[in-house]
Amino acid sequence: MARCFLSLFCPAVTSEKLTQLVEWCGRYSPLVAADGSDGVILDITGGTHLFGGEGTLLLDLKRRLHRMDVKSQAAIADTWGAAWALARYGKRFIVHGENAVSALAHLPVEALRLPNEIVLELRRLGLSTISAVKKIPRGSLAARFGATLLWRLDQTFHQAEEPLTPWRPPAHYRASRILAEPISTVGAVEYVLRDLIQEICKRLENNHLGSRHMDLACYRVDGTVDRCELRTSKPTRSVPHLMRLFDGTLDTLRSGFGFETFVLSVLDIEALYPKQLSLSQAEPVKEESSFDALIDRFSMRLGFQEVNRIRVRESFLPEQAVEFRPTTAPAAASAEWPAYRVRPVRLIDPPMRIEVSILIPGESPVQLFIGHRKHRIVRSEGPERLTAEWWRDKPSRWDTRDYYRIEDDQGFRFWIFRDPSEHWFLHGHLP
Amino acid sequence: MRNYAELQVSSNFSFLRGASHPHELVMAAHEYGHHAIALTDRNTLSGIVLAHSTLKKMAEHRTRFIVGCRLDLSNGESILCYPTNRKAYGKLTQLLTLGRRRANKGECILELADVVDYAEGQHFILPFPQVLTHSARMHIQYCADLFRGNLHLALTHSCRGDDKQWIRTIADFARSLSLPAVAANDVLYYSPERKMLQDVVTCIREKCTLAEAGFRLEANAERHLKPPQEMARIFEAWPDALEATIEIADRCRFSLDELRYEYPEEIVEPGISAFEDLKRRTLAGAKVRYPKGVPEGVIKQIDHELKLIAQREYAPYFLTVHEIVKFAKSKKILCQGRGSAANSVICFCLGITEADPVACGLLFERFISAARNEPPDIDVDFEHERREEVIQHIYEKYGRGRAGLTATVVHYRKRRVIREVGKVLDLASNTPPERRELAVNLMNQLVGFPRHLSQHVGGFVIARGRLDEMVPIENARMQDRTVIQWDKDDIDELGMMKVDVLGLGMLSAIRRAFDLMERHHGRKLSLAGIPHEDSAVYTMLQNADSIGVFQVESRAQQSMLPRLKPTTFYDLVIEVAIVRPGPIQGDMVHPYLRRREGRELVEYPSPELEAVLKKTLGVPLFQEQAMQIAIIGASFTPDEADELRRALATFRHVGTISSLRERFLEGMRKNGYSKEYADRCFSQIEGFGTYGFPEAHAISFANLVYVSAWIKCHYPDVFCAALLNSQPMGFYAPAQLVRDAREHGVEVRPIDVNHSNWETTLEAVENSSRYAIRMGLQMISGLPEKDAQALVAARGPGYRTPGEIARRAGCSRRALDRLAQADAFASMAIGRRQALWKTSILDGKIPPLFAGAELFGDPDTDLPPTTRGQEVLADYFTTGLTLREHPLTFLRPHLKAKRVTTAAELKKTPHGKAVLVAGLVLFRQRPQTAKETIFVTIEDETGAANLIVWKNVHEKHHDAVYHGKLLACQGVVQREGQVLHVVARHVWDWSVQLKHMGPRQGAPALPVRSRDFR
């Protein structure tokens, strides 16, 4: 049976937008793929009647894209190559059978989807149209341009097959099961899922990798899809752990008329080296620490953004020095804090203004008052001088701060600082 | 109160670490009254001369400068090194040379073991450790053992919070090793305000933004130079550490003043003194220069010069330069001295320079003055393609330990600073104005910071003893080049000898022309042998027929020639000197021309100045005239005048210019000159400082102008071929040179596989004494020389088919393709397309058995015919020029319809008329004297036209003016004598039109290469 291709040419789309378009084009045919960086190719063989014929389909497509504000041209032909050429360079947009030869004759050689060097070479020889190239004996062409040119010519004029690989999201690992009969119970889905996870984890283990992000796509009988995804704070390939994490979400799947296909994809991976068994074998190797597993389960329940870890941020200013990041975010080494720069566990925010008495200007105080309470200072160390991070939009209230660690006669320890105008502040309590 | 010496200081010669210039640091130390200050840049001594000379110039000598260096070792540790005496200094420079020479440019590889080898006489300090890692501890222990008695450990208070305790820990550790401690502040900038700049340079170094920099930045601004009182307060608890700074400073007695530069000696013939040798060589040279007997005046002058040279002991210097020139001449490399050396008749006699200074009335004192105690500076131009031979000869003769190229400090320039600081600050269009202001402030501070050391174009320093005992020598980017760590100013400051070995394209062209003349015209000539004062040459130049002629071919020069109407050699000297930014900025051109044409009275402000300015009709045109005005008019001493020139030439001492200006104006007033005249003189001097030519230099250049013009005038065939073979050089592209030659009746023949050599050659023409030019294969862009040479070597009686070339010469497919594309098969009666078709299956690299198609017969194919336009387009693609019609011929009907005036018609168009012109862009220029204006030269099939685009126009039509290949311009004709311009009102880019010449769709634009903004 003659095949039928639709080529869509959308100059000036971003790669994101193109991905969207490819997904969206799925409405016309399941056999859809991105075609270069500026087009989509659809195999619409045998499906055009659903849209009222080829002409109507083309109109419908163009109208919708126009509404979506996408500039586009589209053409339908018997081959991918011919449709591609017509969409980009043609004057006619639906061409079948023998008509293709005349419709393509005057198009430039670029329309043959050739590498740039070959196009340049052809142009230098004055062979600038498809018809001019077709006039040259095939042997002479092959001797000069190799197989590529002939291959492209044949693909365009229906003398060679050109299979289309349908679009799928990029995934590092993928496993799928197509079932003979649709299923709809949680138990049955769990069974398939365990099978998929085992397969994937085996492959991950072989390559010393672990998953940080998985996606399970469940295709219903009617062609719609339901998905559930799963992120972990550490790379993992533990089947029980992954099953436990999926456990809570499987309930949310709506099976409708039943699922017939399952695809499990790993969207993010990280290195995970196998653990050495202890020689004595007395202690069995624990695959995951129970704490990490707990964090993952919290994340699954509460949402991936809700569970955070505290990280050191490289700043000497105490209020800038920590940040919160989701546990599932890509791992990045936390900066090492210079041990000699002592910081209190909690900061007083904003720093509390205090009164002090000082004996020698420029030195640390001998007494300070917090509220009405007087503290006699017996020990002090400092100053640790910190300047404002001048490049920030709001650098800091103070240009420089001189921090002192002090201890009163009761053994309480404080972290206080002096600003350039000799005001004193309490910024925290030290252990 | 205790005094203090700062011993750990990094300037901005520790690139992207220090945030102050060396002179800022030492001036601050002087201000604070430090006992001494050391400079310890990382593995370099580049900043020390500047620091040393700055302190030396201070009125009061209270702060001593100590030479030092921070040695960053390859194990990640560092040690500071201070030579205590001259010998130790030599060891340090040798150590740095060792580390630098075995690393790539800009890097240094040193091991602790190397330091031990050169440790004699050095004093060391170990930097203060901020954390005491195991390896740091080991390093300190190790050094304590190695350098016992000559090693201190630094203590630094950086306000990190636990300073007292930490310093005590380190001090205790030092004591446990019986290592004395010394206070140091590890200074990065002279004042805390520079902390921001220091953050910025840190980020540039680390290639990150400030927001990303994190702990790579300092927590506070404490690493500035602190007054002794403050250091005393900080180190109250460690008085010994303070005392140690003075002790160490007093131990390091070495000063750069001890460096005694000595000229190399082996050039002298054994048994006689350098002076005797120079005298002998000069007199021998004089006999050659003046074959009819040496004139009285010359003998007197030689005696005079010898006397001065003897007094200053400069004889070895002259001999050194003479040796280099002699070497070049023995290798048949053309050379000629430029610059002030042409003032010396000895240089003339030795063959270093080519113009007779006595005949030109030049003064030796401008070269070497009794008053100024600075070494002479001889610059010699060599053929640009063979200069490397001369350079390698010098390395070979004196060895890399004794000869090195001067460095050039590459400074941060505005454009780069804007980019780098913008990146670091993450500036965006929505950045608030206060931040912007801050950014601009930082940018201004960074401009002028040294960025890296580069090699000077050709300044050689040669020493008698080991040069690497005077200054560290490092690798340059270019292979086989070594560079010292000091630049030209540093060399001058220390009175070291330098020879500039420069490259000049015109010399290569002239040598080629001499060779061609000898081979084809049977005429043997040399620079000195060209007939003098040939009136045909001057007639040619008066008509601005000067394309290809040295110096006077530029557009500005071309428009000056008809106005100046040169008739003698000295007119050429003036021509060379007058079209310079100096005279133009000082508005001296028009008064001179008016006086020359007799339209203005020649008058002199005073009789004293008449003597100075008589040669140039009362208008100062040469650099030394400007200096003489300062000396005679404003009563400057020669030294002061020279200081003025230097201050203007470099922006090193910006502050001094305004005070010199006041002194100048005051001096002129006292000597009775009008304020207005004084003001004008000063602005003239300002122009000269940077851009003026000394008279001697103009004479040397004028000599090359005359020689090249003479060749062009009498042998246009030879001239054009020589220029084509010396490309890239000069102002014009091959297309204009060829066009000019054809306009002078020279036949130019296309490139052909059966006739062309690699270089452009001359071919005999029947019934003519003139030769035709056969363009060489080297003009084909992308043709490998190897293939072309193989083609020429295997040519024999000639090739009949492209296949023969592939087989006999073994040319690659790529080479054959370039040849076909260049239409070089015309002698086989094969057109470009057919040739491409035939060659596209050939490849000499593949054995014939497999290059099957030709053997088994490739059916001849009818390819679509080409149009003339397509051929022209292809010519431009491969060779950058065409011998067929000018591309605009094909557009002419279209242009005519738009009422476009041709360049030929333009010549007859009256002043003030509005016209529309169009042409291919040859040049774009933005003269330094008129920065707002862009000059564009366009060309059509009838000739060239000059456009002036004012700022308001080129701002409006920016893309067209800057990037257009085919420009259309609507404007008004402006005539001034023979000079004609179109002042643009509107400019359009019509480059698209060029595509119509080629195939209809998707054709690449015509590759016209304009030479822009040079």
**Whole-number pLDDT of residue A327:** 80
Of B151-165, B334-348, B626-640, the range with the lowest mean pLDDT is B626-640
**Whole-number pLDDT of residue B2:** 66
Please tell me what DSSP assigns to residue A335: P
Q: Which helix (H) or strand (E) holds B70?
A: strand B69-72
Query: Measured at the alpha carbon of residue B12, what is the angle toward residues B9 and B16, in degrees to the nearest 5?
Result: 110
The C-alpha atoms of residue B802 and residue B858 are separated, in whole angstroms, by 13
* Helix, strand, coil % over all residues of chain A, rounded to 5: 30, 30, 40
N residues, chain B: 1014
Taking the CA atoms of B679, B685, B687 and B690 in sequence, report the sign of the dihedral they define. negative
Helix then strand count (H, E) for chain B reads 44, 24
**Whole-number pLDDT of residue A396:** 81
CA nearest to A128 within chain B = B999
The C-alpha atoms of residue B383 and residue B370 are separated, in whole angstroms, by 34
Give how far B854 is from chain A: nearest CA, Å: 10
Q: Which residues pair with A322 in a beta bridge?
A: A312
B887 contacts B873 by C-beta, under 8 angstroms? yes
Query: For residue B36, which of B244, B259, B237, B233 has the smallest C-alpha distance?
Result: B244
Tokens of A349: 């925010």
A181 half-sphere exposure, CB direction, 13 A CA radius: 4
A170 vs B992 pLDDT, higher one: B992
CB-CB neighbors (< 8 A) of A132 in chain B: 864
Of A39-53, A83-97, A156-170, B223-237, the range with the lowest mean pLDDT is A156-170
The C-alpha atoms of residue A100 and residue A83 are separated, in whole angstroms, by 10
Contact B166 A341 (CB under 8 A): no
Contact B161 A338 (CB under 8 A): no
**Whole-number pLDDT of residue B251:** 95
Q: With an 8 Å Cβ cutoff, is A403 touching chain B?
A: yes
**Whole-number pLDDT of residue A257:** 80
Cβ-nearest to B836 among A125, A386, A392: A125
Q: Which of A337, A391, A402, A419 has the highest number of chain B CBs within 10 A, making it the mutation to test binding with B?
A: A391
Give how far A299 is from chain B: nearest CA, Å: 29
Q: Which residues pair with B943 in a beta bridge?
A: B940
pLDDT tens by residue, B255-265: 999 887 777 77
Tokens 């009362």 found at: B618
Expressed in angstroms, the distance from the first to the final Cα of chain B is: 60
Taking the CA atoms of B242, B243, B244 and B246 in sequence, report the sign of the dihedral they define. positive
DSSP for B839-907, written as a single string: HTT--TTS-TTT-HHHHT-PPP--PPPPPHHHHHHHHHHHHS--SS--HHHHHHHHHHHTTPBPHHHHT
Contact A391 B210 (CB under 8 A): yes
Contact A140 B220 (CB under 8 A): no
For residue B1009, the SS3 value is coil
> Which class for B40: exposed (0-12), middle (13-18), buried (19 or more C-beta within 10 A)?
buried
Q: What average pLDDT does this structure show over A304-312? A: 83
> Which class for B435: exposed (0-12), middle (13-18), buried (19 or more C-beta within 10 A)?
middle
In this prediction, residue A218 has a pLDDT band, given cuts at 50, 70 and 90, of: confident
The C-alpha atoms of residue B460 and residue B391 are separated, in whole angstroms, by 9
Give how far B422 is from chain A: nearest CA, Å: 12
pLDDT tens by residue, A393-404: 787 888 899 999
CB under 8 Å to B761, separation ≥6 — which residues? B721, B773, B774, B776
Taking the CA atoms of B95, B101, B102 and B105 in sequence, report the sign of the dihedral they define. positive
**Whole-number pLDDT of residue B856:** 45
Q: Which residues pair with A404 in a beta bridge?
A: A416
**Whole-number pLDDT of residue B36:** 95
The C-alpha atoms of residue B277 and residue A288 are separated, in whole angstroms, by 90
Contact B159 A384 (CB under 8 A): yes
Q: Which helix (H) or strand (E) holds B530?
A: none
Cβ-nearest to A384 among B131, B161, B870: B161
pLDDT of residue B1000 exceeding 60: no
**Whole-number pLDDT of residue B853:** 46
pLDDT of residue A278 exceeding 70: no
Q: Which of A112, A124, A315 has the highest number of chain B CBs within 10 A, making it the mutation to test binding with B?
A: A124
**Whole-number pLDDT of residue B858:** 60
Longest dimension (CA), chain B: 102
Contact B1003 A123 (CB under 8 A): yes
B897 contacts B908 by C-beta, under 8 angstroms? no
Contact B833 A126 (CB under 8 A): yes
Give how far A331 is from chain B: nearest CA, Å: 17
Contact B841 A144 (CB under 8 A): yes
B945 contacts B903 by C-beta, under 8 angstroms? yes
Give how far A422 is from chain B: nearest CA, Å: 17
Q: Which helix (H) or strand (E) holds B626?
A: helix B623-628
Contact B196 A110 (CB under 8 A): no
**Whole-number pLDDT of residue B850:** 43
In this prediction, residue B738 has a pLDDT band, given cuts at 50, 70 and 90, of: very high
Cβ-nearest to A391 among B162, B211, B219: B211
Contact B215 A123 (CB under 8 A): no
In this prediction the ipTM stands at: 0.71
* C-alpha pair distances (Å), B494 with each of B15, B52, B311, B376: 24, 10, 19, 13
The C-alpha atoms of residue A128 and residue A122 are separated, in whole angstroms, by 6
pLDDT of residue B43 exceeding 90: yes
CB-CB neighbors (< 8 A) of A380 in chain B: none
**Whole-number pLDDT of residue A274:** 77
Contact A341 B161 (CB under 8 A): yes
**Whole-number pLDDT of residue B274:** 86
Please tell me what DSSP assigns to residue B477: S
Of A240-244, A254-258, B992-996, the range with the lowest mean pLDDT is B992-996
Give how far B192 is from chain A: nearest CA, Å: 11
pLDDT tens by residue, B82-122: 999 999 999 999 999 999 999 998 899 999 999 999 999 99
CB-CB neighbors (< 8 A) of B841 in chain A: 143-144
B974 vs B870 pLDDT, higher one: B974
B349 vs A142 pLDDT, higher one: B349
Taking the CA atoms of B895, B898, B902 and B903 in sequence, report the sign of the dihedral they define. negative
- Chain A segment 204-263 residues within 8 A of B by beta carbon are none
CB-CB neighbors (< 8 A) of A144 in chain B: 837, 840-841
For residue B823, the SS3 value is coil
Torsion angle of alpha carbons A284, A289, A290, A295, nearest 10°?
A: -160
Contact A140 B859 (CB under 8 A): yes
pLDDT tens by residue, B914-939: 999 999 888 888 876 666 888 888 98
Percentage of chain B with pLDDT > 90?
43
Contact B222 A313 (CB under 8 A): no
Give how far A333 is from chain B: nearest CA, Å: 14
Percentage of chain A with pLDDT > 70?
92
Cβ-nearest to A143 among B165, B216, B858: B858
In this prediction, residue B633 has a pLDDT band, given cuts at 50, 70 and 90, of: confident
Q: Which helix (H) or strand (E) holds B701?
A: helix B695-714
- Counted across chains A and B, CB pairs separated by less than 8 A come out at 107
B844 vs A61 pLDDT, higher one: A61
Contact A108 B833 (CB under 8 A): no
**Whole-number pLDDT of residue B87:** 94
What single letter denotes the amino acid at residue B727?
A: Q
Query: Measured at the alpha carbon of residue A367, what is the angle toward residues A365 and A370, in degrees to the nearest 5?
Result: 110
Give how far A369 is from chain B: nearest CA, Å: 23
Contact B1002 A137 (CB under 8 A): no
The C-alpha atoms of residue B983 and residue B487 are separated, in whole angstroms, by 44
pLDDT, mean over chain A: 84
CB-CB neighbors (< 8 A) of B220 in chain A: 385-387, 400
Of B400-404, B722-726, B862-866, B942-946, the range with the lowest mean pLDDT is B862-866
pLDDT, mean over chain B: 86
Q: For residue B926, how many other CB atoms are within 10 A of its CB?
A: 16
Q: Side by side, which strands form the sheet with A39-43?
A: A32-34, A39-43, A5-9, A73-77, A94-95
CB-CB neighbors (< 8 A) of A127 in chain B: 863-864
In this prediction, residue B1014 has a pLDDT band, given cuts at 50, 70 and 90, of: very low
**Whole-number pLDDT of residue B606:** 81
Contact A335 B841 (CB under 8 A): no
Query: For residue B158, which of B218, B199, B203, B216 has the smallest C-alpha distance?
Result: B218
- Chain A segment 122-141 residues within 8 A of B by beta carbon are 123-128, 132, 136-137, 139-140
The C-alpha atoms of residue A277 and residue A274 are separated, in whole angstroms, by 9
CA nearest to B215 within chain A = A314
Give how far A381 is from chain B: nearest CA, Å: 6
pLDDT of residue B714 exceeding 80: yes
CB under 8 Å to A311, separation ≥6 — which residues? A322, A323, A324, A325, A334
Give how far B868 is from chain A: nearest CA, Å: 13
Contact A340 B162 (CB under 8 A): yes
- Chain A segment 99-118 residues within 8 A of B by beta carbon are 108, 110
The C-alpha atoms of residue A417 and residue A347 are separated, in whole angstroms, by 12
A365 contacts A357 by C-beta, under 8 angstroms? yes
pLDDT of residue B819 exceeding 70: yes
CB-CB neighbors (< 8 A) of B999 in chain A: 123, 126, 128
DSSP for B230-244, written as a single string: HHHHHTTT-HHHHHH
pLDDT of residue B546 exceeding 80: yes
What is the pTM assigned to this prediction? Answer: 0.75
Cβ-nearest to B220 among A140, A315, A386: A386
Please tell me what DSSP assigns to residue B155: E
- Chain A segment 295-314 residues within 8 A of B by beta carbon are 313-314
B739 contacts B695 by C-beta, under 8 angstroms? no
Percentage of chain B with pLDDT > 70?
93
Query: For residue B108, which of B395, B408, B475, B469 has the smallest C-alpha distance?
Result: B475
CB-CB neighbors (< 8 A) of B221 in chain A: 387, 400
Q: With an 8 Å Cβ cutoff, is A390 touching chain B?
A: yes
In this prediction, residue B1004 has a pLDDT band, given cuts at 50, 70 and 90, of: very low
Q: For residue B306, how many other CB atoms are within 10 A of its CB?
A: 18
Tokens of B239: 């008085």
